[in-house]
């Protein structure tokens, strides 16, 4: 019988907070933008450029749709900046005030994603330059958007943050 010696097990080094924010934010932003492009451009047949331009519209208003590639790039930059900010908030809160967020990333990640969805739709969007009103219609868009926030955004951020927890 051939035996293969086991490698010594070494405790994994926890991620830095910056790495957790960067990885969680980039993955969350990618999940959200991928969904938005597939859903609104693919399923709802909107021109793909209007998706990032609508993000830029939160800052500069309806003129974003006349800005061409410049407002597309601005929309992408703003989108990922917002995702990184959400990740930074979670990592900071978990490390400073609520360590349970690191110990139970799946349920708290789901809850955080839902919270982000409602906060963005009922607080941020009505206050931005486009003054988007909160809505529940169309229901398919509302439900798919919520699902992406729960599973793609909140979970990605929470699982990345959990990697900063000290190892035993």
What is the predicted pLDDT for the residue at 10? 53
Query: Among 53-57, 111-115, 127-131, which is the least confidently predicted range?
Result: 127-131
- Please determine, for residue 8, whether its predicted confidence score (pLDDT) is greater than 60: no
Average pLDDT over residues 124-132: 90
- Please determine, for residue 60, whether its predicted confidence score (pLDDT) is greater than 90: yes
Stronger pLDDT, 134 or 97, i.e. the higher one: 97
- Please determine, for residue 167, whether its predicted confidence score (pLDDT) is greater than 80: no
Q: Residue 90 in contact with residue 157, Cβ under 8 Å?
A: yes
Q: Which residues contact 156 (CB under 8 A, 6 or more apart)?
A: 24, 27, 28, 31, 109
d(CA 162, CA 69): 37
Q: How far is CA 117 from CA 20, 109, 121, in A?
A: 21, 12, 6
d(CA 131, CA 111): 26
Give percent above pLDDT 70 in the chain.
Answer: 93
d(CA 109, CA 101): 8
Q: Residue 141 in contact with residue 39, Cβ under 8 Å?
A: yes
The two structure tokens encoding residue 14: 């926890």
- pLDDT band of residue 6 (cuts 50, 70, 90) is low
Write the pLDDT tens digit of every residue in 91-104. Answer: 999 999 999 999 99
What is the predicted pLDDT for the residue at 121? 93
What is the predicted pLDDT for the residue at 166? 81
H-assigned helices in the chain: 17-36, 50-60, 69-96, 100-103, 105-119, 125-127, 139-147, 155-162
What is the predicted pLDDT for the residue at 155? 98
* Residue boundaries of the structural domains of the chain: 22-44+80-162
């Amino acid at each position: 019988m051939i035996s293969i010696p086991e490698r010594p097990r070494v405790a994994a080094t926890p991620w830095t907070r910056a790495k957790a924010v960067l990885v969680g934010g980039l993955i969350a932003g990618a999940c959200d933008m991928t969904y938005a492009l597939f859903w609104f451009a693919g399923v709802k047949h909107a021109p793909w450029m209007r998706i990032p331009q609508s993000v830029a519209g939160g800052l500069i208003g309806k003129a974003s749709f006349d800005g061409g590639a410049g407002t597309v790039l601005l929309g992408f930059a703003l989108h990922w900046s917002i995702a990184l900010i959400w990740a930074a908030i979670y990592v900071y809160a978990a490390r400073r005030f609520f360590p349970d967020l690191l110990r139970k990333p799946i349920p708290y990640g789901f809850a955080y994603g839902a919270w982000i969805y409602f906060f963005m739709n009922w607080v941020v969007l009505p206050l931005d330059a486009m003054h988007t009103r909160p809505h529940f219609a169309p229901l398919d868009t509302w439900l798919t958007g919520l699902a992406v926030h729960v599973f793609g955004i909140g979970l990605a951020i929470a699982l990345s943050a959990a990697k900063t927890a000290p190892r035993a």
